[in-house]
C-alpha cells in the first residue's frame, strides 16, 4: 500500500491508536512499550500485513531529528539541577569518556569479527555507543523504579547528554570511511567545535528564552507551549548552522529553563510530556516501517554476537573506566552498566551511512536495528530484577513513604500568612515569577480591593494587595515575609 493524501490521516491515526493501546497493555507483560511501537510499524510495513511501502532514509532521519528534539527537551525540562548537581561529573564522564570507550572497543571487536575495515567497525561502534534517552526515560518512568544513591539522576543525565558525543563520533568516522585518506585526529577539532558551541548556545538561548517567556504578553495560556516549541527549534537550528551540536544545545536550554521560574511552567511541562510520548511513538513507528524483516534474518548470528559483546563487555568496560575517578560501590557501577539501553537513536544515526551511500550501509543499518531490539528486550525487561539483585532499589515501604513525603511537600502547606503590599514596596508592578520568594512557598491568593484573585506567574502585584502565603513551616513563611518586605 502506498501512502496518499487521502489515506495518510486514516492510516496514521489507526497506527497511533494501536500504539497507545499496545503501550497500555504492554506494562502488564513487562515488555517495554517501545518494542510494541516498533512491532506495529514492522507489521504495517511492506513485508507485514499492512503492506505500506516506506523506503526513505532521508525522511526517516528528518522525523528522527525532530522527535529527538522533543524527547531531549522534555527530559531536560524535568531535570532538577539540585538532583543532578551531586552526580554532574559522573554523568559527564559517562556521556563523553564512556561513549568513546564503547565506540572504540566495539569497533575493534567488529573489525576482527567481520570483513569491516577498522573505520567501518569504528563507525558501527559510534552509532550504537550512546544510551538512548527515549528508551531510558520511558522505561524508568514506566516501571516507576525507585533507586538508591542518586542512580536514577545519573542514568537520566547520561542518556540525555551522551547523544551529542555519539553524533560527533558517527559523523567523524563516517567521514573517514568516505575519505580513508583523512587522519583520525581530524575528529578532535570537530568534537571541540560541536561541544563548545553547543554548550554556549544552549545556555545563552536558555537565558534569553526565560526572559522572552516571562515578559512577552501572549494573552492565552495555550500559546506559551507553542512559543516554547518555536524556541526549541530555533535553538537547534541556529546551533547547527553555527557548527555546534544542536542536540546538546536543546538539552542544556531545557535543563536551564526547567530550573527557572516561568509563566505557565506546569502547562509547558505537561504539554512537552505528551508531545515527547507522541514523538516516541511516531519515531518508532517510522523506524519500524523502514525495516525489512527479511533483510535482518541473514545478520541475526553476527548481530547477536555484537549485541552480546556490547552488553557484557564494551558497556561494562566503559562504565568501570569512566567511573573509576569517583567513589561508588561496585554493584552500583554494574547496575549503571546494565541500564545501557539502545533504542531509536542508534537506528536514526544508522541512516547517515545509508544517505552517504557507503558500501556496507544496509548491513550496518540491519545490525544496528537488531542490536537496539535485543538491548531493549533483554535489558529493558530486567531493570527491576537487576535492581533487586544488585540491591540498589528502594524497598516498597520506603518508596511509599518517600512518595507520601513528596506529596505532602508539594501539595499541603502547614503555615499561612497575609502580607500587605504597601505603596512604595519594590514588589509593586512586578510579576509573581519575578519575585524571589522561596520555592517552598506559594502565593495562593491575592485580596485586591475586596475581590480575591487566584494568581499565576504572570500576575502583577499592585499597591495595597494582600498576599495570602502558604509555606511548609513557619521558618519558610518568615523567609517569604522578609523577602517580600525587602523587595
For the stretch 216-231, pLDDT in tens is 888 788 899 999 999 9
Burial class of residue 78 in the structure, from the number of CB atoms within 10 Å of its CB (0-12 exposed, 13-18 middle, 19+ buried): middle
Task: Give pTM, 2 decimals.
Answer: 0.80
Beta 451-453 vs 415-420: how paired, if at all?
Answer: unpaired
**Helix (H/G/I), strand (E/B), else coil: 170:** helix
User: What's the pLDDT score for residue 409?
Assistant: 45
Using alpha carbons only, give the angle 349, 334, 319 rounded to the nearest 5 degrees: 45
**Helix (H/G/I), strand (E/B), else coil: 452:** strand
Of 161-165, 213-217, 412-416, 454-458, the least confident: 412-416
Going by pLDDT thresholds of 50, 70 and 90, the confidence category of residue 401 is very low
Going by pLDDT thresholds of 50, 70 and 90, the confidence category of residue 145 is low
Query: Is the sign of the CA dihedral 254, 255, 256, 260 positive or negative?
Result: positive
Going by pLDDT thresholds of 50, 70 and 90, the confidence category of residue 94 is very high
Domains within the chain, CATH numbers bracketed: 8-401 (1.20.1530.20), 413-485 (3.30.70.1450)
Residue in 115, 471, 106, 68 with CA at minimum distance from that of residue 282: 68
Rounded average pLDDT over 351-368: 92
For the stretch 205-219, pLDDT in tens is 999 999 999 988 887
Compute CA distances 87 → 78, 145, 150, 165, 214, whole Å. 16, 18, 7, 19, 30
For the stretch 46-59, pLDDT in tens is 787 877 888 889 99
174: left (phi over 0), alpha (psi -120 to 50) or beta: alpha
What is the crossing angle of helices 133-142 and 33-44, to 10°? 120
Beta 466-471 vs 415-420: how paired, if at all?
Answer: antiparallel
For the chain, the average pLDDT equals 84
Amino acid at each position: 500500500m502506498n501512502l496518499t493524501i487521502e489515506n495518510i490521516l486514516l492510516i496514521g491515526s489507526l497506527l497511533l491508536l494501536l500504539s497507545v493501546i499496545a503501550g497500555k497493555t504492554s506494562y502488564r507483560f513487562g515488555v517495554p512499550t517501545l518494542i510494541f511501537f516498533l512491532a506495529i510499524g514492522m507489521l504495517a510495513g511492506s513485508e507485514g500485513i499492512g503492506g505500506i511501502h516506506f523506503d526513505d532514509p532521508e525522511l526517516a532521519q528528518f522525523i528522527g531529528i525532530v522527535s529527538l528534539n522533543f524527547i531531549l527537551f522534555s527530559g531536560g525540562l524535568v531535570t532538577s539541577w539540585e538532583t543532578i548537581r551531586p552526580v554532574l561529573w559522573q554523568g559527564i564522564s559517562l556521556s563523553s569518556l564512556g561513549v568513546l570507550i564503547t565506540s572504540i572497543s566495539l569497533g575493534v571487536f567488529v573489525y576482527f569479527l567481520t570483513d569491516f575495515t577498522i573505520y567501518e567497525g569504528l563507525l558501527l561502534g559510534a552509532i550504537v555507543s550512546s544510551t538512548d534517552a527515549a528508551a531510558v526515560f520511558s522505561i524508568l518512568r514506566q516501571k516507576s523504579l525507585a533507586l538508591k544513591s542518586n542512580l536514577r539522576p545519573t542514568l537520566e543525565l547520561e542518556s540525555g547528554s551522551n547523544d551529542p558525543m555519539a553524533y560527533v563520533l558517527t559523523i567523524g568516522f563516517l567521514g573517514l570511511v568516505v575519505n580513508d585518506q583523512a587522519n583520525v585526529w581530524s575528529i578532535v577539532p570537530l568534537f571541540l567545535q560541536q561541544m563548545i558551541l553547543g554548550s554556549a548556545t544552549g545556555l545563552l538561548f536558555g537565558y534569553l528564552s526565560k526572559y522572552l517567556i516571562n515578559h512577552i504578553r501572549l494573552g492565552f495560556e495555550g500559546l506559551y507551549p507553542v512559543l516554547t516549541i518555536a524556541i526549541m527549534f530555533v535553538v537547534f537550528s541556529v546551533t547547527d548552522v553555527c557548527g555546534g551540536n544542536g542536540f546538546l544545545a536543546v538539552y542544556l536550554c531545557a535543563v536551564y529553563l526547567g530550573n527557572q521560574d516561568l509563566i505557565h511552567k506546569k502547562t509547558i511541562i505537561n504539554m512537552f510530556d505528551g508531545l515527547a510520548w507522541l514523538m516516541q511513538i511516531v519515531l518508532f513507528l517510522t523506524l519500524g516501517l523502514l525495516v525489512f524483516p527479511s533483510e535482518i534474518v541473514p545478520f541475526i548470528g553476527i548481530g547477536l554476537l555484537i549485541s552480546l559483546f556490547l552488553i557484557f563487555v564494551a558497556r561494562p568496560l566503559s562504565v568501570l573506566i569512566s567511573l573509576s575517578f569517583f567513589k561508588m560501590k561496585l554493584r552500583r557501577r554494574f547496575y549503571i552498566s546494565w541500564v545501557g539501553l539502545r533504542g531509536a537513536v542508534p537506528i536514526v544515526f544508522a541512516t547517515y551511512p545509508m544517505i552517504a551511500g557507503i558500501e556496507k550501509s544496509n548491513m550496518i543499518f540491519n545490525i544496528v536495528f537488531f542490536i537496539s531490539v535485543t538491548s531493549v528486550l533483554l535489558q529493558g525487561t530486567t531493570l527491576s530484577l537487576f535492581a533487586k539483585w544488585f540491591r540498589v532499589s528502594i524497598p516498597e515501604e520506603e518508596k511509599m513513604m518517600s512518595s507520601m513525603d513528596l506529596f505532602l511537600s508539594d501539595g499541603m502547606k502547614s503555615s499561612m500568612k497575609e502580607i500587605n503590599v504597601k505603596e512604595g514596596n519594590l514588589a509593586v508592578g512586578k510579576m509573581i515569577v519575578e519575585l524571589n520568594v522561596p520555592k517552598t512557598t506559594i502565593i495562593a491568593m491575592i485580596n485586591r480591593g475586596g475581590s480575591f484573585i487566584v494568581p499565576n506567574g504572570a500576575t502583577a502585584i499592585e499597591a495595597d494587595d494582600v498576599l495570602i502565603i502558604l509555606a511548609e513551616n513557619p521558618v519558610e513563611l518568615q523567609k517569604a515575609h522578609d523577602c517580600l518586605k525587602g523587595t
